[in-house]
Amino acid sequence: MDFKKSRITILKILISTVLLFLLTLSVNYYINYNYSKTLNTFYSEFNQCDFNDAKETLSDNSFVLKLKKKAMTSEVSKYFTSIITTLCNELKNNNITSDQAVTVFKEIKSYDILDESLDKLILTLDQDYVLEDSSLYKHYLDLALEKYNVGQYSEAIEMLSKIPYSQLEYYNTAQDYIEKCKDSYKQSLFNEADKLSEEDYYTKAIDLLSNVDESIVSSTDKDIQNKISSIEIAREEYLSSQYYIDNAQPTSTSLLQNLNSETINTLNIESNTPYLIYVNLNDQKTYVYEGSSNNWTLERDFPCSSGIESEATPKGVYTITGRGDWFYSDEYEQGGKYWVQFWGDYLFHSLPYDETQNTIVDYTLGVPASHGCIRLAVEDSKWLFENMPDDTKVIIN
């Protein structure tokens, strides 16, 4: 009898264990199923920008979400991180706008799941973003200093100017760096202007300083104006020393008065290279000779255009001092290819192009039409660029 009771007891225990296992399995299945269903619903709603519905889905105070809160936070954090990465790539490829990205980032921020680095990301895209926590202004300051360190002075000043006086801990530092931005920007301009002046590009240096970024420094800034004045003085001194060749030199003003294509070999004209370039302003032609004094042979001649009356090409005797494959003038909104420098800002160069370097904006040749340079056909300027060595004499008459 006792044996029979023992078998019944064991059977009951076994059945209870199986039932408990099945119950546990069912509960786990129910929890995981509903948890996965809730997350998938949330992902779907968020992906479709149904932000209110998505937030309501996760705000449900159900037993399942309370039980899986830690896991849910981890899963949603990973999801938001992937969304941010995707949007950053889309921004980089110009597939979406900053405003579109910021809208999603702010929605993600409202869940308070990711760390403060999200604030920093939003700040880079939305200058009007208001920080909820005053301590986060350090992120704002750090971001502005990053821009300062890479020379993005305008962006840095814009951000630094938004740090309020109420945040005195960061405000004073911000004000100091606004002045550093201005000083660094001016110094970078002065360095570039000095480099241009050293290469006798005085007008370009003055243009550079006359067109400052006024979001950083005013065009009437005393230091800027003083620098322009000093370069103008240097330009005048340079022009005075270079404008015409002294009468005592073999290539004198009288030489210029007598020179033409027929007298080229009668005036003892020398060049420091086997080439001589002669520009006849009356005929609007450029002649290239090869040889030596009184033994010059015409190599090529090109139609050209010198400066218009108000910006006439200066007559004189010069030498080639440099070259480059492209320049662009913001003042005239045009540039030229294959330039060869013979005096300061004066160059031989191609027909003028627009900023893209693809479209010729003026085909005029054979009459004065430039701003002082000697304009040539593209193929002729390329030939001159490739074949005339530095120190070749240039006579313009």
Active site residue 349: yes
User: Which residue among 139, 181, 304, 373 is the active-site one?
Assistant: 373
Is 139 designated active site? no
Give the Cα separation of 28 and 24 in Å (integer). 6
Q: Which residues contact 60 (CB under 8 A, 6 or more apart)?
A: 38
Task: Evaluate whether 348 touches 313 at the Cβ level (below 8 Å).
Answer: no
Torsion of CA 18, 21, 22, 27, to 10 degrees: 160
Secondary structure E strands in 224-284: 275-280
Write down the catalytic residue from 139, 181, 304, 349.
349
> Among 14, 113, 97, 134, which Cα is nearest to 58's?
113
- CA pair distance 326, 337, nearest whole angstrom: 4
- What is the DSSP code (8-state) at residue 213? -
Between the CA atoms of 355, 200, 235 and 344, what dihedral angle is there, to the nearest 10 degrees? -70
Q: What is the DSSP string of 104-127?
A: HHHHHHTT--S-THHHHHHHHH-T
CA distance 189 to 202: 14
Annotated catalytic residues are 349, 373
